[in-house]
């Protein structure tokens, strides 16, 4: 860690795939939620922009209607499948946008997301947005990702 003399600027050096990444944050409160406020990636040769992944099964049907925890897990499973198909992993993700129709319900099961990302050594910048509805009325959560390596 590097602490600037003026202010509380922490620069944490890490590897994203094989690329050097500077995780830049003036605070540490976000650590408990498993994300960083910024990722400065240089030298990346590949970028994968993933569309929002939801609790859609392999047949294209909504799964786990009304169950936020199960939908979050399947959304993450689907994201990992998409990443893996392109030879990426959660560790390569630098940006996540999470959309939900029920922020309170998502926050109740947030440990699932935080634990999964921590296990994968994913420290992406993240945004959580509450929305009126997603593509299908039964969907509760959608996860969009950008991965680089």
Q: How far is CA 61 from CA 23, 65, 99, 138, in A?
A: 38, 10, 19, 10
The one-character DSSP state at 5 is S
Tens-digit pLDDT string for the chain (149 aa): 333 333 333 333 333 443 445 455 667 777 777 777 777 777 888 999 999 999 999 999 999 999 999 999 999 999 999 999 999 999 999 999 999 999 999 999 999 999 999 999 998 889 999 999 999 999 999 999 999 99
**Whole-model pTM?**
0.79
Evaluate whether 15 touches 21 at the Cβ level (below 8 Å): yes
């Amino acid at each position: 860690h590097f602490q600037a003399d003026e202010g509380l600027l922490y620069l944490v050096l890490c590897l994203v795939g094989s690329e050097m990444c500077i995780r830049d944050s003036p605070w540490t409160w976000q650590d408990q939620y498993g994300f960083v406020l910024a990722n400065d990636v240089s030298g990346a040769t590949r970028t994968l922009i993933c569309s929002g992944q939801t609790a859609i099964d392999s047949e294209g049907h909504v799964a786990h209607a009304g169950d936020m925890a199960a939908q979050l897990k399947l959304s993450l499973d689907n994201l990992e499948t998409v990443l893996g198909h392109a030879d990426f992993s959660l560790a390569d993700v630098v940006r996540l946008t999470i959309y939900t129709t029920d922020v309170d319900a998502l926050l109740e099961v947030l440990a699932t997301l935080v634990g999964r990302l921590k296990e994968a050594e994913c420290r992406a910048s993240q945004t959580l947005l509450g929305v009126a509805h997603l593509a299908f009325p039964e969907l509760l959560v959608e996860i969009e990702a950008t991965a680089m390596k």
